[in-house]
Chains A and B, each alone.
Chain A
Amino acid sequence: MRERSMLATATLLAMTAGIGCSASGPAFQKVAVPEGKSVVYAYRPKSIFGAAIQPGVSCGQPGPGLKPGGYHAFVLDPGTVTCSASTESTSEVQVDAMPNGSSYVREKIGIGFFVGRPHLEVVDEATGEREISNCKQQ
């Protein structure tokens, strides 16, 4: 009996954590790129692994901590932009932000010693567009 109640509590906690840690803003919508500017989308696909942590992602300017299933659009001047995120280690990638173009940076949380580590990846436009369509704005 006690085992069952422990299991139920654990399941409930996991579900609550899963719901509480997911992004809940408006569904993805492409940003209209201002003339001569560039947009870098940072997004984090849903995963229960590392769901409790939200390392802040910056791309040329500070951004929010992305929750699982969340994204943020950075409107920037074109050029080489450095995106980074940190917990116990830092992940850093460089993005070639094209004028009037969009770039996509995916954040995954990998295993860490004490806490999960962010891994940023520049992905191609097709992959980025497909995956970000399931994300919500932060």
Chain B
Amino acid sequence: MRIDMKGAVGALALVTLAAIGVGSASGLALGVLAVAAAAGARRPVGSSGIVVLAMSLVGCMQTATRPPLEHVQARPLGLTGRVEGEHARGLPLSLERAASSTTDVVFRYDERVVHDHSELPPALMILLTSPLHLLGVPTGRDTVTASAELTVLRGPREIGRYEGDATVSRIYGLYYGSTLRELEDRARVEVRRVIDEALYKNADHLAAATDGTQP
């Protein structure tokens, strides 16, 4: 039986296009490998594939972009305050310990989280790496940045303001790393430690600002 190679290449190119349309790694891999094979390439994911594999692994190691913080030991802050703001998902340890409803000091705490999801450029993925993703090579990286701001007020007077952020990231592939929840929790814990650290460092100033006259 005679195979029309040109026709086969064209048909497989269409399969590849369809696979791009639905974002299917298996479809892409099939299309890429078949087109390469039909075009006469004996080792379609040879040396270039190995380079991409190495790049993926080196570039996608899990990192926290902030240097690790010292372990923060919870201790009395020297003042208490009412906590304002949405904090159903937790607070820095220092604020938890200092929370009180019978005081004129206010801790206004705001915590935000943003995500970033990055993959290899589609062209690279389509041409070279889709077969490798099926083998477990990472497909991208999820990054979560938590930012927090704490304002300490006594009446209308601001006696302290602290800001911090923390970024954590993690690689993911077709078979692992599908949920962001754990990453988000880690970013929140990290940023709360940043705030704790800043607050404890400035505890003397805060205590002096309340003149020891807190109820």
B75 at the A interface (CB under 8 A): no
A111, B178: Cβ atoms closer than 8 Å: no
Within the complex, the shortest CB–CB distance from B143 to chain A, in Å, comes to 9
Encode B1-37 as 1/0 by CB contact (under 8 A) with A. Answer: 0000011011101100110111111111000000000
A133 at the B interface (CB under 8 A): no
Task: Please report whether the interface of chain A is mostly helix, strand, loop or mixed according to DSSP.
Answer: mixed
B69 at the A interface (CB under 8 A): no
List the A side residues contacting B17 at CB < 8 Å: 10, 13-14, 17
List the A side residues contacting B27 at CB < 8 Å: 114
A113, B134: Cβ atoms closer than 8 Å: yes
List the A side residues contacting B50 at CB < 8 Å: none
- In the docked arrangement, what's the CA distance between A16 and B174, Å? 29
Chain B: interface residue total (CB-CB under 8 A): 43
Within the complex, the shortest CB–CB distance from A58 to chain B, in Å, comes to 16
Mark the stretch among B58-66, B152-160, B179-187 that contacts chain A. Answer: B179-187
B130, A111: Cβ atoms closer than 8 Å: yes
Within 8 A of B (CB), among A1-41: 2-3, 6-7, 9-10, 13-14, 17, 21
| Residues of chain B at the chain A interface (Cβ within 8 Å) | 6-7, 9-11, 13-14, 17-18, 20-28, 86, 88-89, 111-117, 119, 122, 125, 130, 133-134, 139-140, 142, 174, 178-181, 184
| Residues of chain A at the chain B interface (Cβ within 8 Å) | 2-3, 6-7, 9-10, 13-14, 17, 21, 47-53, 79-80, 89-94, 96, 98, 108-117, 119-124, 127
